[in-house]
Chain A
């Protein structure tokens, strides 16, 4: 853990999350419900706390109140008098009257924070990723190579690499090139069937970060983005390394960017089953969330059979029907004879008796009338709701479902 005291952590949490609409229509993307009892940012914050990092700035912008509220309710655990904190910072507009123009501009507009902190290194994270990483592993890698900037990267099969930003590395893990959606992605030197994709997780030597951010801020043509502008301008000029996020067997570890509704849905499916792709049941790496005072969930067989298979059920639920491959937030009610299949139901959703739901995401508080069907008729669903490419239906809570 050498150098941790001199490490400042900054979490980017200001994006609008337009591709997650309607879930993000009134909230910041990092503040949306995930995995029943979490908000997406809980994964990154839990990684920080589990890694012993307790000096954290969260840069917010769009829908910042939803994020502030969550940080207050779930993460008011630091003691600023001991030098630890989680501070949420919207654009302060002290030096300029504009909003954040990109991830790099977030840092530029907050250079005064780095001036006050004077860290040796800066860890830059994103508030909308799901993964478990001990940042000390990455920091040790960064320090051992005397790196100016280290980017965490995960392997994807080379044939799938054309839809990502790909990092070309040499045998020593030095970054040689950044390629945006290359037609023929380069493989890894020791694993040619796989390519490296940036995770948007960076450790910078603080002085280098400041230099590069200022240089970028003066470029009119820049989009002021770490991935698009800062990293490419450093490759070849600075010591840039890629930290391969892999397990001891050389397999890619679990990391997901929750950027699209289908990715949001798929990442929930990854939580389910006896050997889930992403394991929440790891006592060594607890994921914190907002503490709630709720009774245990109840499973009541009132005449009709109750069945729950491959599901995550939060506290305070009442299940009288069938639930399969689904994730239920606190206080959800599933009535007698109702069928909930591959669904994500947010807090206090009520599914009426005999209703049938298949591949549906429902926002908090929605009441599905008895006998109502969603997810069984593509055309009807598309007329009423958001329907994704993969056939997932999204029901926001600003609609009223009529029988």
Chain B
């Protein structure tokens, strides 16, 4: 079973993604902030990270290169309510950029594509 880490400070999003992705057959771990996420990247055998951008403490764009520094080649999807971060060079290091929506089709498609790559 593939392991996915969902990093989001919004509890509703964490619960939603955990339920939906568990239904898709993935094992889902969650982190409420980037610092905890970095610890889990180091210790857990992960296949994918879904990373929010606007979080208190360390934001997703700051966490992204650190995640890649810890686990080279680990796929990361930036999942944010805002589209403007797509212009940031730092966001280009992610494998996908998905704007949050009530329709999870795009996110699920990207997850499938990246874990099977």
Contacts and interface: CB of A to CB of B under 8 A. Distances in A.
Interface in B61-117: 65-66, 68-69, 72-73, 88-90, 92-93
B66 A96 contact: yes
A218 B69 CA distance: 10
A164 to B, nearest CB: 32
Nearest to A211: B92
B89 A210 contact: yes
B72 A220 contact: yes
A20 interface: no
Contacts of A115: 88-90
Contact of A111 (B65, B69, B72, B73): B65
Contacts of A97: 69
Interface residues of B, number: 11
A114 B66 CA distance: 17
Interface string A92-120: 00111110000000000001101100000
Nearest to A118: B89
Contacts of B90: 111-112, 115
B68 A114 contact: no
Contact of B68 (A211, A217, A220): A217
A220 B73 CA distance: 8
Contacts of A210: 89, 92
B68 to A, nearest CB: 7
Contacts of A112: 90
A111 B66 contact: no
Contact of A95 (B69, B73, B88, B89): B69
Nearest to A210: B89
B65 A218 contact: no
Contacts of A277: none
Interface of A: 94-98, 111-112, 114-115, 210-211, 214, 217-218, 220
Interface of B: 65-66, 68-69, 72-73, 88-90, 92-93
Given A211-B92, A220-B73, 13 more contacts: A96-B65, A96-B68, A96-B69, A97-B69, A111-B89, A111-B90, A115-B88, A115-B90, A210-B92, A217-B93, A218-B68, A218-B72, A220-B72
